[in-house]
Structure 1
Amino acid sequence: MRGVPPTASSRRLLALCAVVLLAVSCRWGGPDDTGGERPPGAPTGVTAQAGSATSVHVMWNRVAPAGSEVTGYEVYRGDTKVKEVPAATHMVDVSRLRPATTYVFTVRARDADGRLGPPSREVRATTPAAARADTRPPTAPGALEGRAAGSRAAQLSWSAARDDRGVVSYDLYQGRTKIHSVGGNQTAAVVTGLRPGTRYSFTVRARDAADNLSPPGRVVRLTTADGADGGATATAPADFRATTRSSGGAYYIVLSWVPPRVDGTVTEYEVRLDGRPVTSLVYGGEAPRDRATYRFYAGEEAGVTHRVRIRPLLPDGTWGAFSAERTVTTGAAG
């Protein structure tokens, strides 16, 4: 719960948060009880995607400060540090790798006092086999389209590029700066972390296994909305459902949804019940990307009606849009 003093009901809710599938935990987000500063936490949402036969694109979510401010991240290949980036950067391309090889990556956050947090979970990526004597780049991705998704996100889509050996990945550029990379089987992405009321230009380039980079496709320009997000559905959980179930004489609210497809992995959600936040759930392991489920305690009385909705904490550290609101009644059939 964020900013709301725990009540007897919320304490029961906290105790029962362990019901969630996979490695999900509830947290109140308060300061260290000892009053001391702690090192940064482990980065979540870490992913690794082969960019070519000799490179891998590694991404992670922003780490909130535990004590002093987070000032940078270190990326490791096995036990070897291969990249060090400032706090504003949440992705790197690790190059000079071997073709057809599986690599293990972890990320650690560093704070202003020089302390390193624990490593993230390990992620693996396998580079494709090298293509012999391939010097021909893919064609430019076509039909790039984009639209602002509220004040802090943009939806981009394009048609697939062609290559005689196959496209391995697509690189997304904001102006001249590479900001994201997706697999060669994807032709859409949601870019987050943008500023309200700001004009942006985006391009996309295709990359093959030999690291040949296509020319950019056409430039798409868009302006994000002013002020609040305005309910941008691109960053909201989709197909949100809520039901109630009984177990051991108590009622539980059961939620399910499809996580938003954004530039990174969503590992944290805020649950709001009857207009107020009741808990945050954090996936400690691999977060679901297809459909997520969660349940929490709703009391022992039948016939009580509740309104519930959720919102994601995006990889850039900002909140996404709320899901649709659902109404459930304890003990009701369905």
Structure 2
Amino acid sequence: MRVLGIETSCDETGVALYDSDRGLLAHALHSQVDLHAEYGGVVPEIASRDHVRKLLPLASHCLAQAGLQRSDIDGVAYTAGPGLIGALLVGASAGRALAVALDKPAIAVHHMEGHLLAPMLEPEPPAFPFVALLVSGGHSMLVEVKGIGRYRLLGETLDDAAGEAFDKTAKLLNLGYPGGPALARLAEKGDPNRFSFPRPMTDRPGLDFSFSGLKTHTRNLVLAEDDDPATQADIAAGFQRAVVDTMAIKCRRAMVATRARQLVIAGGVGANLELRATLKREGEKHGWAVSYPRLAFCTDNGAMIAFAGCQRLLAGEHTGPVIEARARWPLEQLDAPGEAA
């Protein structure tokens, strides 16, 4: 089955073609970073309008890259939530319209399920069951993944997500937008041990996260210290180390609690090199396998949506003619493929 995947949940337009027999055939991604940079964050209306402009040209590009025609598509998968409602509606409307025009089934895909399954696109995918650390600008959660659609939420953030904390801290340091990658680059030049940072919620049991207090601690430090380049680099390095250590501690607890032997890192923050290195060391120390999607598939992309949608279409699922998008959509509401009521 050949599935066209569409991702428009936020500020990146992603399109891909996935074949259940041959794997990923083509994928393309358009980032809106330059459009939103002057505002210091994502402007939903601008995001939606740019998705309208870019989506169909990207789809045509993917088809040409794969050497296929629209008639060769067997199904369409699109992100239906969670995300920015206007942006989601662009992809959902285009996906539904294309499916109707081609007389092919369509499937609404959960954005987080796409991220959880992105590592399955790799040549050596992780085996079920595994624990997934899903960290992005809007989400930080630990999930036990027993199979496609079989998810158990172990812990999540009680306030800011890790990516959000990175972006807000980068703004405190005047690093511009997008802040997370800029802070990570600055941290490479700093001493993470110069200043003391808390590891939030690691002094008590549980798998939930909280990063708002760490952000406040960093703000107070920025106000109290000189703003010379070396000090800023040291603050960035200390902040990043605190976030990474916190996630590593929570991952270790989750692996013990579930007795899993495979840890998967997904989501945009999964591209952070210090996080990857730290969890790799944890895996080697404790005997877990640790895997990630390639860097291109950590951020939002159409390939993960095409793959997730393909699994559900193969199980006989499809979405009805009503165009739906959900700004909020709890992951626990998903069923395993073929088990939907």
> Structure 2-normalised TM-score?
0.27
Q: Structure 1 or 2: larger strand share?
A: 1
Q: Structure 1 or 2: larger helix share?
A: 2
Over alpha carbons, which structure has the higher Rg?
1
Higher relative contact order at CA 8 Å, sep ≥6: structure 1 or structure 2?
2
> Structure 1-normalised TM-score?
0.27
